[in-house]
Structure 1
């Protein structure tokens, strides 16, 4: 029976649009005639009543006028399977005109039309015309509802209502209940769906068999959002969110563009509040340059800088695609927001001092944010020379170019891995800090400052997108060590910190963020597994979906990262930004060290470079052997052929010390 009904429905749905409209008009003609006859039969309490000739003329005129009105208001253009509640008002207005026409024709043809008959007719016509349309819609959608995934919407405000309406018209998800942050709405009905309080979210998921929870909270609900995430994490359902109001207003997303949880939700702490006035005073009307502008941190800095309306924004990057992408995005933002900011996209490397100075002088740069760096720990370990050239000498040459070009402020984006580093990336960033500290003490024209923060969620190389891809692929999720912990922040938060601290710099300071408690990477992986509706695999009973596999610490990786070298940080005007008290190196000694490192890099002597980093006041304590891929291959090949180290005894001694 169901198969026959479905075939008939499908046959009707496959008809050309013209034939469907003809069927609708014919059906309405029958329903209107039936409503007219029944209204008289009910009034006279006689089911055998037959209209006379004048009443037939009234019937005909009323039906023709009603059909004409229905055509005029667009009722026959509405697609029945997607018909909305707005069609009810169209039908009400059409039936009202029909009832009035009924009375007018009764008067014109001098037919007997009792005063109560038009009222009865209007009610019957509405029931038949509207009821059949919504009945057909329900019939068409009923088979699809069985196949839809049941979802619960958290948020019974305007955004939640819009999402429920959008999903109801779709083919994938069916909303079955609301969760309201307002307990007063508990046990009520909204759009025919029951509303539960947050404390009953587990009951709602169980009662309705929901397999997914969609967050449609208003922006003002952010503080309670974190408590909600902690509660939902315990349920075996996928948790996703809908776009923010800003994305909806700007047209970047639609209300039914459901996606995985924002990274801010996984972070689980309040972001650093910005002080816009301070940054405005620093950037407004200035020519600002960002190195590494195509990277994750550099591009976010550009997005935030342009909102402060600088005179011009200079983008420098060695990556053509990254530079093209951020230049196109910022140009669009400038035009749409009527910001009138000149965007200059320039290809180049920070290791080319003459190129940097020429750019700064020619374009009149006043402020530089130096975000260009190689920051992926294992890659820098395997490419030691390039890591040092880019991170150390790129900072040195761009800073010297800034002094020569008369730059007002130069801000270095640093990392928590510069504190007591165990890897080349961290040691190179600490050396970069020492370079700026030395230059700051050696001159006063350019204000140098450094901003140090932890891991950035969502940046290139971040664990969050890696874990998300691994979970979608069925696992396992790879974590280096069960006890490894990290400080985390979001990309926008990192950008805000750099701008805030850079505006506060007086010369030579190292700013760090009070980032709260560190996050255990294994716990972050478990949270992501649970919030994607899955369970961690347990070997003892063989239950669960996604396993967590521990791969061991990578070369240069530490269990615990730190933000401060000393233990006596000073406060600043910003409650969440501290200033570190750290040792520096006078410029004459630092200059000699840098010259020795430059010669070693030119000679491709990795052993000598490591030795110089060990001698420098960086706190560098490697926990692994030297990992540079080319250097190690040359050492192996030379040892096999001649038994000698190609760079002499010094480099070999360093390698022996590292491996012992």
Structure 2
């Protein structure tokens, strides 16, 4: 009801502006407009102007705009409506009725309409902006990094949004043209070198990085500057959500560790990937895990004929199935509950579905846990891989991609050693099979279940302390989507027998990672939250490697994927040693480790 009254009121007010401005124009140009024949001209002119004015007001939707948020488009609408409301009556009276109306009347009429229609609206906009900004002076004080289109949108929305209690204090931008200017009354203080000084001087609570179009390496450099302040860091990751109408403030999120890595998007050869995935039956083992589920998400867009989700945990398999069905409703999905250790069940799966491409991601991966349960690590990582790999050969799969780890290189853990044996087995199998067998080796992935990042976040949420095993421990890190994208790409390069090594970037100190996470959460390390050293755990080492001494390194067509030279492995001898490994399952750990050492001479038990 109120909306209808408001609409009618706005039309009446705009029509009054049309009539009143025309009356003033006639009065200014004629000595006495109220005597004949001027009165007749004025009445006719007013009638035509009123009719045209209503049509233009409705056509330009001036009565349906929210003028509290008026901008350039709203002003343009007023100018267009006023232009035609002035011009059409002027031409009609002069050309059709033959009255010589002075041209200055047209000019004054148009000027008066613009002033009377735009003036009250701009005053209302200024009123809302002024009092809206003042109402938020008691909220968080925010510094916006980037005075471009995204940063401007953030400030505009913060000024207009009465729910979000954040007040923009200023911009930081490296463009010297913008510095010392202001946008929406908010000053641009200077370049990135001024971040620390401005944050302290202006008592900034939040820093919002609003530069979604710059490279990841530049974002990482800015974050490293911001880390020296005590302000909470937030970021607008992309413009996609804003383009879809989700709003600028709605896209702001806390800065994550992934942002700190600073790696630019991966270049992907979509044609080569489509050639070996599109129209094929693809099996993903461990499909409910961190890597396996992401493999499913990234394989699905390439339109496989059928995607087989094989896993041992019903909840995780159900979860990824529901997600894929929601995102890719046309995709044919088969969920398979199976344990890779069960050879008969795996044969049943291959008999029923005949997968052409296999991604083997099922594995036990937790290093300390596998140290205490070596037989389970061997059964899953060695014999589980053996079962799936031999079935791929037996049932004529075209390609088998094994997900390995940097912990397989000169291993010090049971987990790493079992993964190395699995690598050796598929390399030996490749020499006698039509199936192309390859392994892809990479380091830690951020955010995977049981990894260090979720553990740190959990400890921070509980108020600390954050536990780090050793101050000098370093690891290679990449994001789960990044790793999986490279895994799928590596599969396209498979000729058989290769171990692909992914470029993990620079190794990161775990201690530095803990410090960054604490600061990103708004705390000061060792002041607001303690960091304690718990000592190296069973099977761990200070640093990881990506190549054995025997493996050279050659490049591929992709700048982030390299090939370790295939080793000469005697399959008969390897099979004999694996049978010996099977015989010691369930026995004391020292006997198991002795057989592992014989199989993988580079294995050194440091526990």
TM-score, normalized by length of structure 1? 0.76
The one of 513, 516, 525 equivalent to 1:524 is 513
| Residues 468-493 of structure 1: CA deviation (Å, up to 9, x unaligned) | 45546654433232222111122233
Aligned to 1:414: 404
Give the 5 Å matches for 1:161-200: 162-171=153-162, 172=164, 173=166, 175=168, 177-180=170-173, 182-183=175-176, 185-187=178-180, 194-195=187-188, 196-200=190-194
CA contact (8 A) 1:99 1:121 kept: yes
Aligned to 2:74: 87
Aligned mates of 2:83, 2:16 — CA distance in 1: 18
Q: What displacement does 1:368 show?
A: 1.4
Q: Quick check: 120-129 or 51-60, which moved more? A: 51-60
CA contact (8 A) 2:257 2:517 kept: no
Aligned mates of 1:247, 1:139 — CA distance in 2: 30
Aligned mates of 1:223, 1:378 — CA distance in 2: 34
**Where does the alignment leave 5 or more consecutive residues of structure 2 unmatched?**
none
| Counterpart secondary structure, 2:402 | strand
Q: Quick check: 204-213 or 72-81, which moved more? A: 204-213
Aligned to 2:236: 242
Q: What displacement does 1:362 show?
A: 3.2
Structure 2 residue 345 is matched with structure 1 residue 355: yes
Aligned mates of 2:11, 2:276 — CA distance in 1: 69
**Where does the alignment leave 5 or more consecutive residues of structure 1 unmatched?**
1-14, 540-544, 625-660
Aligned to 2:443: 454
After superposition, the Cα gap between the structure-2 partners of 1:176 and 1:536, relative to the gap in structure 1 and judged at 3 Å, is closer
The one of 384, 405, 422 equivalent to 1:394 is 384
After superposition, the Cα gap between the structure-2 partners of 1:106 and 1:434, relative to the gap in structure 1 and judged at 3 Å, is closer
Aligned mates of 2:246, 2:605 — CA distance in 1: 47
The one of 540, 544, 555 equivalent to 1:557 is 540
Give the 5 Å matches for 1:120-269: 120-146=108-134, 147=136, 149-160=140-151, 162-171=153-162, 172=164, 173=166, 175=168, 177-180=170-173, 182-183=175-176, 185-187=178-180, 194-195=187-188, 196-202=190-196, 205=199, 210-217=204-211, 219=213, 221-244=215-238, 255=248, 256-261=250-255, 263-269=257-263
Aligned to 2:86: 99
| Counterpart secondary structure, 1:373 | coil
After superposition, the Cα gap between the structure-2 partners of 1:63 and 1:177, relative to the gap in structure 1 and judged at 3 Å, is farther
Aligned mates of 1:318, 1:295 — CA distance in 2: 10
Aligned mates of 1:465, 1:83 — CA distance in 2: 44
The one of 555, 577, 594 equivalent to 1:572 is 555
After superposition, the Cα gap between the structure-2 partners of 1:472 and 1:212, relative to the gap in structure 1 and judged at 3 Å, is farther
Aligned mates of 1:407, 1:233 — CA distance in 2: 50
Aligned to 2:2: 16
Aligned mates of 1:24, 1:280 — CA distance in 2: 58
Aligned mates of 2:283, 2:245 — CA distance in 1: 27
Aligned mates of 1:369, 1:510 — CA distance in 2: 14
CA contact (8 A) 1:102 1:118 kept: no
CA contact (8 A) 1:243 1:253 kept: no
Structure 2 residue 341 is matched with structure 1 residue 374: no
CA contact (8 A) 2:230 2:524 kept: no
Aligned mates of 1:426, 1:386 — CA distance in 2: 13
Aligned to 1:643: none
CA contact (8 A) 1:571 1:577 kept: no
Aligned to 1:542: none
Q: Quick check: 418-427 or 452-461, which moved more? A: 418-427
Q: What displacement does 1:41 show?
A: 6.7
| Counterpart secondary structure, 2:63 | helix
Aligned mates of 1:620, 1:252 — CA distance in 2: 55
Aligned mates of 1:23, 1:280 — CA distance in 2: 60
After superposition, the Cα gap between the structure-2 partners of 1:572 and 1:36, relative to the gap in structure 1 and judged at 3 Å, is closer
Give the 5 Å matches for 1:487-566: 487-532=476-521, 534-539=522-527, 545-566=528-549
Aligned mates of 1:140, 1:429 — CA distance in 2: 64
TM-score, normalized by length of structure 2? 0.81
Q: What displacement does 1:396 show?
A: 1.5
Aligned mates of 2:324, 2:119 — CA distance in 1: 52
CA contact (8 A) 1:154 1:216 kept: yes
| Counterpart secondary structure, 1:483 | coil
Aligned mates of 2:459, 2:100 — CA distance in 1: 78
Q: What displacement does 1:494 show?
A: 1.6
After superposition, the Cα gap between the structure-2 partners of 1:406 and 1:198, relative to the gap in structure 1 and judged at 3 Å, is same
Aligned to 1:8: none
Q: For the aligned residues, what is the CA RMSD?
A: 4.2
Aligned mates of 2:116, 2:169 — CA distance in 1: 29
After superposition, the Cα gap between the structure-2 partners of 1:152 and 1:567, relative to the gap in structure 1 and judged at 3 Å, is farther
CA contact (8 A) 2:551 2:567 kept: no
CA contact (8 A) 1:384 1:606 kept: yes
| Counterpart secondary structure, 1:481 | coil
Q: Quick check: 157-166 or 317-326, which moved more? A: 157-166
Aligned mates of 1:584, 1:297 — CA distance in 2: 29
| Residues 548-569 of structure 1: CA deviation (Å, up to 9, x unaligned) | 3334333333222222332652
| Residues 322-356 of structure 1: CA deviation (Å, up to 9, x unaligned) | 33443444456556xxxx86443323221222232
Give the 5 Å matches for 1:21-32: 21=7, 24=10, 28=14
CA contact (8 A) 2:272 2:492 kept: yes
Aligned mates of 2:354, 2:433 — CA distance in 1: 19
Give the 5 Å matches for 1:302-313: 302-313=296-307
Give the 5 Å matches for 1:41-52: none
| Residues 587-614 of structure 1: CA deviation (Å, up to 9, x unaligned) | 445444444544554x576665455435
Q: What is the aligned residue count?
A: 594
Q: What displacement does 1:503 show?
A: 3.9
